[in-house]
Structure 1
Amino acid sequence: MGFPVIEDEPALDLDVLAELLRADGVYVTGELSANRVGRGQSNLTYAINDAAGRRWIARRPPRGNVLESAHDVQREFGILSALQATDIPIPTVLGEYVDERLAESPVVVMEYIDGLVVDRPETAEDLSHDLRGALGPALATTLASIHKVDLISVGLDGLSSHTPYAARQIKRWARQWSESRTRELPALDEMTSLLRHRMPKQRQLSLVHGDFHIQNVIADPQTGNVRAVLDWELSTLGDPLADVGSLLAYWPEASDEPTALFAASTLPGFASRADLTDAYMKASGRDITDLPYWHVLGLWKIAIIAEGVLRRALEDPRNAADGGPPQANLADQLIDRAWRTAVDAGLD
């Protein structure tokens, strides 16, 4: 169980990391070793091991130039620190280090949590039908618990603007598209215009994870319950339905037109998007009238993220995760799906 390993020369100095951890009171025996783990295409994630078998996770931004506001591991550290006393399943954070001897970028260290990480087709194929069926509703229930966090009590009320989230998301990701695209994609530009035109009125404000999907959680291999939610660098304050829409966007069904998006959820036994929506409604009690809009926006956003990942891999192939960067046509496929979803929901 746990994270799959990727062979890669670590982009941090392990001797310096051992020194910094010891200075913070962390027991470190002997020399450290590191392996790139996970299939995430954003921040570089390493499993760190000492001579006594202790394990930690270290995260840092990708190599080379990164877009402004992207890959912010220091923001992630602050959010995880604020949530330590809540019942949200997250890793314990150990340190945040800005030291040129360690790396040219900030590095965050947290505990290693063992468990089931469904980020490969073969992992999903090996699961029982019962476990497959449990994973989706467990994700939806965990997402509802994130949205119940009392922002004032945990000190996150000032994390970001309280202005309408849809407008902020469109502004941010449209800018990311203009800075990261590798070619023209008129259908995406037209989708941006549609999303601006159909923005719903914001009715709720909560902590929003920003990138919540099956590959960003560690689950119990027996029950499917979520042991840890990972990758918080995109977290902000906004409409909680945005997270649900993204979860649906990352959850293809067998009847969907195939794309290069990770498709574990198309296997028999996995919950449907309707099942996820029902589980979230049951756990949260929220009105989901505007959910189709956020589903479409989620697909649009993932298309832009995929293009950014592709650009970073083209600039420096070492940034690509195990399995390589996204296919060049993934953004096109996702925008096609976004348009079909919008038409089905009457948003066009």
Structure 2
Amino acid sequence: MSGAATNLPPAALADYLRAQGLAGAGPVAAQVLAGGQSNPTYRLTVDDGRQYVLRKKPAGVLLASAHAIDREYRVMRALQDTAVPVPRMLAYCDDAALLGTPFYVMEYLAGRVLMDQSLPGMDPAERHAIYREMNRVIAALHAVDYAAVGLADYGKSGNYVGRQVARWSRQCREASVPVTPAMERLMDWLPRHLPQDDETTLVHGDYRLDNLVFHPTEPRVIGVLDWELSTLGHPLADLAYQCMAWRIPPALWRGIAGLQLSALGIPSEQEYVAWYEQTTGRQAAEHWDFYLAYNLFRMAAILHGIAQRAQDGNAASADAVETGAKAGPLAELGWQAAQRYMAGRK
């Protein structure tokens, strides 16, 4: 196996792939796939040229329910024949003795992963088409009959945001890395202002540009990836997660706030939400800033967890300390959204 830095045991992995009918007698090459603070991910190439992606839990002590690759595998397998594009699932192994932690193997998608939401190098029409397609796919996800595809027990129905706030607050408080004052304020404020517009659909939980694989040349999503935070939940909370990008400056983290969006061909936040409303029939405006406050808090809590893993020495990415440090500024943006929500309800 090439690339010893992968830390994958060559013989054990090759034997496993052969047993699954996914490889011949020759060697298996492994390459670390870039991106993400989450589950270690590798591209595998077997002797006949076939390529796969292997995704596994990180090593070390993990927070409860974190890095649920079994759920990732289950949801993508369930979505195979729906309008939501996902890679084909090929094998799942819960025997930690083989590679150190449980893992799964899926189809490798030869396409584009676009990391920068300003889409540099594209013309305005191309950018507009990419954003339209992202909107189409998240609307399609929220239209899936989750019970019909075997996911009726994939999560609890109702009170998704309340349960999420409690979960992430608990994880923040259990961590040894201290939280910021804005995080404390949000943990107090969010449970007391939960909207009553409850609805349950399948939600991705981490839907954003760089978790999508686009066709090599067309503005078409061929795969939605990174489902570890997926569950049954509120569709507007899921949409608002993606729409945080319009509130976050690029210098902070993965945002487009402050850019000349019309010149770039990128829709405004209001236009993007309106597309979704037109497709789904849902109305987002009444509690929109609450859902943004919630998501900025949740993202800050996730980054706080990355800071904790960096301190504990088991983070999946080398830049975990820098990434974890962004939790505080994101919480500040969340508190600003909470204040806008309160001002708009007076």
> What TM-score results when the alignment is normalised by the length of structure 1?
0.89
Structure 2 match to 1:109: 105
Structure 2 match to 1:3: none
Structure 2 match to 1:309: 306
Could you say what secondary structure the match of 1:260 adopts? coil
Deviation of 1:69 (Å): 0.2
The residue type paired with residue 306 of structure 1 is L
Say if 2:158 and 2:199, in contact at 8 Å, map to a contact too: no
Q: Percent identity?
A: 31
1:174 and 1:185 map into 2 onto residues whose CA distance is: 12
Deviation of 1:340 (Å): 1.9
Q: Comparing 104-113 with 331-340, which one deviates more in the overlay?
A: 331-340
Q: Comparing 141-150 with 176-185, which one deviates more in the overlay?
A: 176-185
1:35-81 CA distance string (max 9 Å, x none) = 11131101111111123322111111222111110101011111112
1:163 and 1:55 map into 2 onto residues whose CA distance is: 40
- What is the aligned counterpart of 1:260 among 227, 252, 260? 252
Aligned residues: 337
1:298 aligns with 2:290: no
Q: Comparing 323-332 with 95-104, which one deviates more in the overlay?
A: 323-332
- What is the aligned counterpart of 1:203 among 191, 198, 202? 198
Say if 1:306 and 1:326, in contact at 8 Å, map to a contact too: no
Q: Comparing 79-88 with 327-336, which one deviates more in the overlay?
A: 327-336
CA RMSD of aligned residues (A): 2.3
Query: CA, structure 1 residues 312+11, in 2 after alignment: closer, same or farther (shift >3 Å)?
Result: farther
Deviation of 1:169 (Å): 0.7
Could you say what secondary structure the match of 2:171 adopts? helix
Could you say what secondary structure the match of 2:99 adopts? coil
Say if 2:114 and 2:210, in contact at 8 Å, map to a contact too: yes
Structure 1 match to 2:283: 287
Say if 2:25 and 2:47, in contact at 8 Å, map to a contact too: yes
1:187 aligns with 2:187: no
Deviation of 1:230 (Å): 0.4
2:62 and 2:331 map into 1 onto residues whose CA distance is: 24
1:178 aligns with 2:173: yes
1:187-207 CA distance string (max 9 Å, x none) = 101111111111011432110
Query: CA, structure 1 residues 63+186, in 2 after alignment: closer, same or farther (shift >3 Å)?
Result: same
1:45 aligns with 2:36: no
Q: Comparing 104-113 with 197-206, which one deviates more in the overlay?
A: 197-206
- What is the aligned counterpart of 1:125 among 120, 124, 130? 120
Say if 1:133 and 1:269, in contact at 8 Å, map to a contact too: yes
Query: CA, structure 1 residues 258+107, in 2 after alignment: closer, same or farther (shift >3 Å)?
Result: closer
The residue type paired with residue 22 of structure 2 is V
Say if 2:110 and 2:216, in contact at 8 Å, map to a contact too: no
- What is the aligned counterpart of 2:62 among 60, 66, 71? 66
Say if 1:12 and 1:102, in contact at 8 Å, map to a contact too: no
1:208 and 1:195 map into 2 onto residues whose CA distance is: 20
Could you say what secondary structure the match of 2:6 adopts? coil
> Could you list the runs of 5+ residues in structure 1 that have no partner in the other structure?
1-6
1:181 and 1:258 map into 2 onto residues whose CA distance is: 29
1:13 and 1:41 map into 2 onto residues whose CA distance is: 22
1:128-182 CA distance string (max 9 Å, x none) = 3322222222112111101111122111111111131111111111112123352
Say if 1:16 and 1:101, in contact at 8 Å, map to a contact too: no
Say if 2:307 and 2:320, in contact at 8 Å, map to a contact too: no
Say if 1:300 and 1:334, in contact at 8 Å, map to a contact too: yes
Structure 1 match to 2:317: 320
1:236 and 1:211 map into 2 onto residues whose CA distance is: 11
Deviation of 1:101 (Å): 4.0
Query: CA, structure 1 residues 183+203, in 2 after alignment: closer, same or farther (shift >3 Å)?
Result: closer
2:179 and 2:88 map into 1 onto residues whose CA distance is: 42
Query: CA, structure 1 residues 181+277, in 2 after alignment: closer, same or farther (shift >3 Å)?
Result: farther
Query: CA, structure 1 residues 257+148, in 2 after alignment: closer, same or farther (shift >3 Å)?
Result: closer
> What TM-score results when the alignment is normalised by the length of structure 2?
0.89
Say if 2:41 and 2:56, in contact at 8 Å, map to a contact too: yes
Deviation of 1:31 (Å): 1.0
1:300 and 1:181 map into 2 onto residues whose CA distance is: 18
Q: Comparing 217-226 with 295-304, which one deviates more in the overlay?
A: 217-226
> Could you list the runs of 5+ residues in structure 2 that have no partner in the other structure?
none
1:51 and 1:318 map into 2 onto residues whose CA distance is: 32
- What is the aligned counterpart of 1:139 among 118, 127, 134? 134
